[in-house]
Amino acid sequence: MESRLDYIFAALADPTRRDILVTLLEDDMAVTDVAEPFEMSLAAISKHLGILRRAGLISQEQRGRVKWCKLEPDAMRDASIWMQSFGQFEAVNLDAFEKFLSREMPLIQGRSET
Amino acid sequence: MESRLDYIFAALADPTRRDILVTLLEDDMAVTDVAEPFEMSLAAISKHLGILRRAGLISQEQRGRVKWCKLEPDAMRDASIWMQSFGQFEAVNLDAFEKFLSREMPLIQGRSET
DNA sequence: ATAATGGTCAACCAAATGGTTGAATATAAC
DNA sequence: GTTATATTCAACCATTTGGTTGACCATTAT
């Protein structure tokens, strides 16, 4: 009875994996490129990517000897919806959203206008 | 460098804890009452509640020998916002929301009109 | 005063996590 | 054909997690 939510929330609970997701916002990437900024073995990153894939948060496609990783943001939908059901807070408070973005994820500032 | 998100997502990754949160949507409750529907020792539930409290998702207040548990939905805000930043999907798709609710959380159907 | 209730603590256990290394595999390049 | 690159696999390790049980501490009830 392992819920999909189990996998998604578990995947998101690790900061390395959240960083990977943020990185992948920019573009699809090979495993090696995903791993580059982290002070951690390639094998470790490979495991993290496996967990993200199990959760459906990314997909991977083999092309030649390189495996491309692609963000699958739709997978976050169910989890996001689940959380919103507790939404005593306004559905999306854009002010808070922007403040949070600049605080936590300065790298992707440009994205806040999506 | 333990992020608040670590605790929140980790807390949400367990189905028992998500069930507890859903239960607490209904009303504040004593630990024993929270535990009642679960086939699990009181001590186990007590631990789960500790993890939810660490994440800020609930608060607890001792009154006499009874410890009351209260949902703190605001704590989900940062996590929810974080997820929305990946929102390739429309901020809140209400159709999907309702369908998801009736599928996953029939108990709180009445809430979908909040 | 004694007994029952509400809850946590401590010790323990099995399984899962997050990391490491070194070997292995497959593709690409020279 | 040999070498280098991209990635995973397997074995291992320490720590965390999710659960148990039994003792313990308060508070309430008799």
Kindly list the distances between the CA atom of residue A87 and the CA atoms of A84, A112, B2, B62, in Å, as whole numbers in the listed order: 5, 21, 25, 26
Closest CB to A92 among B1, B84, B96: B84
Asked if A37 and A23 touch (Cβ cutoff 8 Å), the reply is yes
Q: What is the pLDDT of residue A106?
A: 46
Kindly report, residue by residue over B71-109, the tens digit of the pLDDT: 998 888 778 877 877 664 444 444 554 554 455 444 433
Q: Do the Cβ atoms of A111 and B86 come within 8 Å?
A: no
**Angle formed by the axes of helices B4-12 and A4-12, nearest 10°:** 170
Closest CB to A73 among B25, B87, B100: B87
Question: In sequence order, what are the residues at sequence separation of 6 or more whose Cβ sits closer than 8 angstroms to the Cβ of residue B68?
Answer: B28, B29, B30, B60, B61, B62
User: Token digits for B23?
Assistant: 């239960």
Q: What is the pLDDT of residue B104?
A: 47
Location of structure tokens 């929810």: B80
Q: What is the pLDDT of residue A37?
A: 95
Closest CB to A73 among B18, B71, B88: B88
Residue A36: count other Cβ atoms within 10 Å of its Cβ.
12
Q: What is the pLDDT of residue B96?
A: 53
Q: Which of residues 37-56 of B touch strand D (CB under 7 A)?
A: 39-41, 43-44, 47-48, 51
More confident residue, B35 or A110: B35
Asked if B96 and A77 touch (Cβ cutoff 8 Å), the reply is yes
Mean pLDDT across chain B = 80
Please state the rounded mean pLDDT for residues B36-48. 97
Kindly list the distances between the CA atom of residue B26 and the CA atoms of A68, B9, B68, B107, in Å, as whole numbers in the listed order: 45, 22, 13, 9
Q: Is the pLDDT of residue B34 over 70?
A: yes
Q: Do the Cβ atoms of A73 and B89 come within 8 Å?
A: yes
Partner B contacted by A51 (CB < 8 A): no
Query: Residues A23, A29, A35, A37: is their CA dihedral positive or negative?
Result: negative
Taking C1' of C20 and every protein CA, the nearest residue is: A41
Query: Which chain B residue has the Cα nearest residue A15?
Result: B6
Q: Is the CB of B60 under 7 A from strand C?
A: yes
Structural domains of chain A ordered from first start: 4-106 (1.10.10.10)
User: Token digits for B61?
Assistant: 């207040």
Asked if B60 and B75 touch (Cβ cutoff 8 Å), the reply is no
With CA of B32 and C1' of each nucleotide, the nearest comes out as C6
Q: Do the Cβ atoms of B13 and A6 come within 8 Å?
A: yes
Partner A contacted by B98 (CB < 8 A): no
Q: What is the mean pLDDT of each run of 10 residues along chain A (114 residues)?
A: 85 96 91 96 98 96 96 84 66 50 45 32
